[in-house]
């Protein structure tokens, strides 16, 4: 037994060494020197040795008692779905604490951190929106950024041409983005999986290219300015620009650029909470159940009389609406929009948030959005390796947690203890009738 382990460890070490030598050999072992090569193979051998040592250490750690326990805890969650028993403690108290802590954040955070928090919340919104489409309804959408752009440009262009402000844009954005969602959804109703992904990918690019090339309307690559938000006619700029009163004059305090971000943060936080609540309610409503059923088996759904057209349309439109709202916040936070903010990379990042969070899991999506926005900031010390480390972390997360950070929990509709009593009650009249 001991020998066996040792042999497998040795085999693993040799394999790691050889593979890393092949990988690093040409990259760091051969150095271009004028027109010839300089041989620096010693360097790549050292690198390979370091990697091998690391691999052996990981294996040894995995064999120890603590490692074993850690590993079983990390991998035990592969089975997928947990079902609530209905006897969980009510999460109301921790939720309330979390809510108040979130609201109080601007009083503790500095401007830099608040900026990251706003970005994280915007990605939360985007993730929650895409989660409806991909996580719940199972429709792979690679062009989600289009709706984000629609929301952002609604505010920018609406201000420019129609004089729309932040609040009116916030109200109109979900409807306009929802309309765009419907435009996309109609032609793709009969598509599944890969085909659907390609069409949505194309849709996302079309929106971006139109924004980029319709110079006279959108300003093209030059972008468009976005007005600062207002609160009951009070403005957050140093001097009034939209015919109101600057808020610092109104309150008789000195001007600070931070007020605007405090305001955006608080409104955004409330909207995110509202969306989380809405999604939570939807999941236990017939519509939410139909989305999930459609994801599992469309044929069975249709035989049960589910209107698949309506179900798919509603998923697309509600997802798009949420994306549109996120766009408005993005625009008002940046104070300026241009098409480079709405590339395919954004769509991929939002999809990564949904998949990493655990398809369909609201808590997971929120966590993943926060992790994926804060992680790049924490990695700033690594400068140019940032994206590399980011990528590696995503790969590692997917290996350890293939079903996402947070496992999907199924709602328990009828608490076991109560329903047993309930059934007994219901059975009594029947038995009497039987006599």
Nearer to another protein, 252 or 434 (CB): 434
Contact flag: residue 297 with another protein (CB under 8 A): yes
Binding mask 273-292 for another protein (x = CB under 8 A): -------------x--xx-x
Total residue length of the chain: 435
Q: Answer yes or no whether residue 88 interacts with another protein by CB under 8 A.
A: no
Least distance (Å) between residue 128 CB and another protein:
20
Angle at 67 between CA 66 and CA 73, to 5 degrees: 95
Task: Take residue 140 and report the two structure tokens written for it.
Answer: 């792979």
315 binds another protein, rule: CB under 8 A: no
| Helix ranges restricted to H, 214-305 | 215-218, 247-251, 258-284, 286-296, 298-303
Minimum distance, C-beta of residue 432 to another protein, in the bound complex (Å): 15
Pick the piece of the chain touching another protein (CB under 8 A) from 78-86, 116-124, 140-148, 172-180. 78-86
Tokens of 163: 């004089």
In whole angstroms, how close is the CB of 307 to another protein at the nearest point? Answer: 4
Please give the Cα distance from 226 to 163 (Å, whole number). Answer: 11
94 binds another protein (CB under 8 A): no
Question: In angstroms, what is the minimal distance from the CB of 290 to another protein?
Answer: 7
Rank residues 71 and 289 by Cβ distance to another protein and give the closer one: 289
Residue number with CB closer to another protein (40 or 88): 88
Nearer to another protein, 80 or 163 (CB): 80
Query: Which range of residues in 2-10, 201-209, 304-312, 313-321 is near another protein by CB under 8 A?
Result: 304-312
> Nearest distance from residue 309's CB to another protein, in Å?
9
> In the complex with another protein, which residue's Cβ is closer, 40 or 420?
420
State yes or no: residue 305 binds another protein (CB under 8 A): yes
* 57 touches another protein by CB under 8 A: no
Report if residue 429 touches another protein, rule: CB under 8 A.
no
Tokens describing residue 70: 């850690």
How many CA atoms does the CB half-sphere of 165 hold within 13 Å? 14
Binders of another protein among residues 369 to 428 (CB under 8 A) are: 408, 410, 412-414, 416, 419, 422-423, 426-427
CA-CA distance, 316 to 307, in Å (whole number)? 15
Quickly list DSSP for 84-127: --S-SPPTHHHHHHHHHHHHHHHHH--HHHHHHHHHHHHHHHHH
Asked whether position 189 contacts another protein by CB under 8 A, the answer is no
Burial class (CB in 10 A: 0-12, 13-18, 19+), 133: buried
Q: For residues 264 and 301, which CB has a smaller minimum distance to another protein in the complex?
A: 301
Contact indicator for 326, 122 with CB cutoff of 8 Å:
yes
In the list 7, 15, 74, 83, the residue contacting another protein (rule: CB under 8 A) is: 83
78 φ, ψ (degrees, to nearest 5): -70, -20
| Contact between 433 and another protein per CB under 8 A | no
Q: With CB under 8 A as the contact rule, which of the stretches 82-90, 99-107, 117-125, 174-182 interacts with another protein?
A: 82-90
- Residue 133 in the binding site for another protein (CB under 8 A): no
Token code pair at residue 117: 């928090």
Report whether 84 contacts 412 (CB < 8 A).
yes
Q: Are 179 and 323 in contact (CB under 8 A)?
A: no
Is residue 300 involved in binding another protein (CB under 8 A)?
yes
Residue 302 CB, shortest distance to another protein, in Å, is 5
How much of the chain is helix, strand and coil, in % rounded to 5? 75, 5, 20
* Total residues in contact with another protein, by rule CB under 8 A: 34
User: How many Å is the Cα radius of gyration of the chain?
Assistant: 27
- Closest C-alpha among 202, 242, 435 to residue 332: 242
* Residues at the site binding another protein, with contacts judged by CB under 8 A: 80-81, 83-86, 286, 289-290, 292-293, 296-297, 299-308, 408, 410, 412-414, 416, 419, 422-423, 426-427
């Amino acid at each position: 037994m001991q020998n066996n382990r040792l042999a497998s460890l040795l085999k693993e070490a040799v394999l790691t060494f050889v593979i890393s030598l092949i990988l690093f050999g040409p990259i760091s072992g051969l150095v271009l020197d004028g027109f010839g090569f300089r041989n620096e193979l010693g360097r790549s051998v050292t690198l390979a040795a370091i990697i091998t040592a690391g691999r052996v250490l990981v294996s040894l750690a995995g064999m120890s008692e603590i490692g074993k326990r850690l590993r079983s805890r990390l991998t035990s969650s592969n089975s997928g779905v947990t079902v609530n028993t209905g006897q969980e403690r009510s999460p109301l108290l921790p939720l309330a604490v979390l809510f108040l802590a979130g609201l109080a954040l601007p009083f503790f955070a500095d401007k830099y951190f608040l900026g990251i928090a706003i970005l994280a919340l915007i990605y939360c919104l985007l993730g929650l929106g895409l989660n409806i489409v991909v996580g719940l309804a199972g429709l792979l959408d690679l062009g989600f950024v289009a709706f984000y752009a629609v929301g952002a440009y609604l505010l920018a262009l609406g201000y420019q041409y129609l004089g729309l402000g932040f609040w009116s844009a916030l109200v109109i954005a979900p409807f306009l983005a929802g309309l765009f969602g419907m435009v996309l959804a109609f032609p793709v109703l009969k598509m599944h999986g890969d085909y659907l992904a390609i069409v949505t990918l194309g849709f996302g690019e079309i929106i971006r290219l139109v924004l980029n090339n319709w110079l006279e309307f959108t300003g093209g690559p030059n972008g468009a300015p976005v007005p600062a938000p207002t609160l009951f006619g009070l403005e957050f700029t140093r001097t009034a620009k939209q015919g109101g009163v600057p808020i610092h004059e109104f309150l008789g305090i000195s001007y600070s650029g931070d007020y605007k971000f405090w305001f955006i943060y608080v409104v955004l936080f409330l909207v995110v909470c509202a969306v989380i609540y809405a999604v939570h309610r939807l999941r236990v409503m017939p519509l939410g159940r139909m989305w999930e059923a459609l994801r599992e088996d469309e044929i069975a759904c249709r035989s049960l009389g589910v209107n698949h057209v309506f179900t798919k349309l509603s998923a697309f439109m509600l997802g798009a609406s949420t994306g549109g709202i996120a766009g408005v916040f993005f625009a008002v936070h940046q104070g300026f929009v241009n098409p480079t903010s709405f590339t395919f990379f954004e769509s991929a990042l939002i999809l990564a948030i949904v998949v990493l969070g655990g398809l369909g899991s609201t808590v997971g999506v929120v966590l993943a959005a926060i992790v994926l926005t804060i992680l790049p900031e924490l990695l700033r010390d690594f400068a140019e390796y940032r994206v590399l480390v980011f990528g590696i972390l995503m790969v590692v997360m997917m290996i350890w947690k293939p079903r996402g950070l947070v496992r999907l929990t199924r709602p328990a509709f009828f608490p076991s203890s109560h329903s047993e009593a309930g059934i007994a009650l219901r059975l009594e009249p029947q038995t009497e009738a039987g006599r």
